[in-house]
Structure 1
Amino acid sequence: MSRTMWNAAVATGAAAVFAGVATVPAGAAEGGVSFSRVSFNKGKPIVVGVQEEVEVHATFRMTTTRKYKYGPTVVPYRGKLSSTDTLHSAVITSDCHVVNKAKGICDFEEWVYIDPRNLDFGNEDAGTWRTAAELAIVVGGGDIDDMNIPLQVQRATRVTVNAAPEPVVKGRTITVTGKVTRANWDTHTYQGYAGRTVSLQFKADGASSYTTVKKVTSGSTGSLRTTVKAAKSGTWRWNYYGNPTAGAKASTGDHVVVRPASS
């Protein structure tokens, strides 16, 4: 989304300048620059809420013997490389960590910031993006390459839980309620997420992990409700596994003590 404001990348790392004594390495892009070893958010989806700026970490390698102005940067993009929308409010690139000075090989770290409060950011920005690597060259313009790495940008979800009564007699009914909501980037609020399949999970006292007991579909306001028989003490939670445009999220746990039935 380079809708002007999003193009304001801040590359603060000092640009490394290599003497042009080596030939352009094999596989270099048309601008005499090649990028490799790109890792963006460790391949995980980028989940964005409604208020908090998100910091995304990236690493990459660049090979060039050309003198450049600043950067380089690796960012999410959509559209064509020649006329692209990029997704960031700011980018900070580290100094060059020299791998091979003669060949102009550098490793970089990068921090990309995405602020959902930006006026150009909206619900339409959820979904699949691609990764572009770019460098501004002192003479001859610049170089921008599609790294062929897809990125999922997702709206954050929230999930709540309440299990009652607490405590409960063994064999009686426990009612588990909750709600799943999703970030609305247009209104900067969380709204009920209807029609979602959410797993009710239980972890018995002394157990190390949760087990899915049943699955429930959220109502028109995102509400969740079901009943189970009380068998043993433990913790109940709801777990939503997400989708391409909405992040995965589990609720906190609600512990219920199950007491023996009176003889």
Structure 2
Amino acid sequence: MAKTMWNAVVAAGAVAVVTAMTAAPAGAATGGVSYSQVSVNGGKPIVIGVQEVVSVPVTFRMSTTRTWDWQPLFSLYRGKLGSPESDTLYSAFGASDHACPTKGRGSCVIDDGVLDIDPRYTIEGNGYAGTWKSSAELSLPGGDSVFTDLNHPVQVQRATRVTVNAAPEPVVTGKTITVTGKVTRANWETHSYQGYAGRTVSLQFKADGASSYTTVKKVTSGSTGSLKTTVKAAKSGTWRWNYYGNSTSGAKASTGDHVIVWSGVRVMHAR
């Protein structure tokens, strides 16, 4: 199904700007418009890296007594809705053409909306991580618009990365395994990943044949985000680091590193 995209930001460094209107809670009518059943990213935080465009699923229901020209445009904002000084966070928003007929009236449901966020052009700094408000704009005939605060907060987080290496491989039962790694976080000002110091990261193990990981110990990352600890080899399985995130940084687990543990006993065959 084709989607119609609005307000695409294509110029380098460009930021979409909200220029109007009046704020009201979701469910309350602003200029004869109300919204309900709002869902953004399935209720999960929006985690953004340094280059990749993030496409966020958005759904909502609109009811209105007004006649509109275009489907409602969803966006994230901070500050006062309608103020030129407010920040907005989106590159484009689109939904299927059939969702709300042009020049319609009454109610419509946008159930496949997509909010695109390009960190290269729409994020001005690391301070953009945190809680954002959500709004919808309904375009009316004659160039007017009605902006409504949806009263639906959304958490935006900087992406993290975690690596792992367990050695030696293989290892004899009872010997020491050294597990290293690194946790880094997206820097939206330099557009690179940098070491994330002072983070509590869980070392986890999944034995061969097991269905889930178990936390073995917790380690604090060093000044460059480095991780290092030792464990005793007991059985073959997979090791990983798992960072659970915080209000401004996304959760992330490393890939697993499998280590074979053997007894070290050689069987001599008679000739």
Q: TM-score, normalised by structure 2?
A: 0.83
The percentage of aligned residue pairs carrying the same residue is 67
Which residue in 1 is equivalent to 2:152? Answer: 149
Instruction: Note if contact 1:178-1:225 (Cα within 8 Å) is conserved in structure 2.
Output: yes
CA deviations 1:36-84 (Å, max 9, x no partner) are: 1111111111111111111111011111131222230222111111213
Whether 1:259 aligns to 2:269 is no
CA-CA distance at 1:92 after TM superposition: 1.3
Aligned residues, how many? 242
Whether 1:176 aligns to 2:143 is no
Which residue in 2 is equivalent to 1:242? Answer: 245
Alignment partner of 1:224 out of 209, 227, 243: 227
Structure 1 residues without counterparts, runs of 5 or longer? 10-26
CA-CA distance at 1:199 after TM superposition: 0.1
Equivalent residues in 2 for 1:153-232, closer than 5 Å: 153-232=156-235
Instruction: Note if contact 1:172-1:229 (Cα within 8 Å) is conserved in structure 2.
Output: yes
Larger mean CA deviation between 131-140 and 53-62 belongs to 131-140
Whether 1:86 aligns to 2:88 is yes
CA deviations 1:199-229 (Å, max 9, x no partner) are: 0000000000000000000000000000000
Helix, strand or coil at the partner of 2:165: strand
Whether 1:7 aligns to 2:16 is yes
Instruction: Note if contact 2:134-2:151 (Cα within 8 Å) is conserved in structure 1.
Output: yes
Instruction: Note if contact 1:73-1:110 (Cα within 8 Å) is conserved in structure 2.
Output: no
Structure 2 residues without counterparts, runs of 5 or longer? 1-8, 19-26, 267-271
Q: Which amino acid aligns with 2:56?
A: V
Helix, strand or coil at the partner of 1:5: coil
CA deviations 1:137-167 (Å, max 9, x no partner) are: 2258322222221111111100000000000
Which residue in 1 is equivalent to 2:48? Answer: 48
Instruction: Note if contact 1:5-1:89 (Cα within 8 Å) is conserved in structure 2.
Output: no
Which residue in 1 is equivalent to 2:236? Answer: 233
Q: Which amino acid aligns with 2:145?
A: G
Which residue in 2 is equivalent to 1:107? Answer: 109
Q: What value does the CA root-mean-square deviation take over the aligned residues?
A: 2.3
Change (3 A) 1:28 1:196: closer
CA-CA distance at 1:7 after TM superposition: 2.2
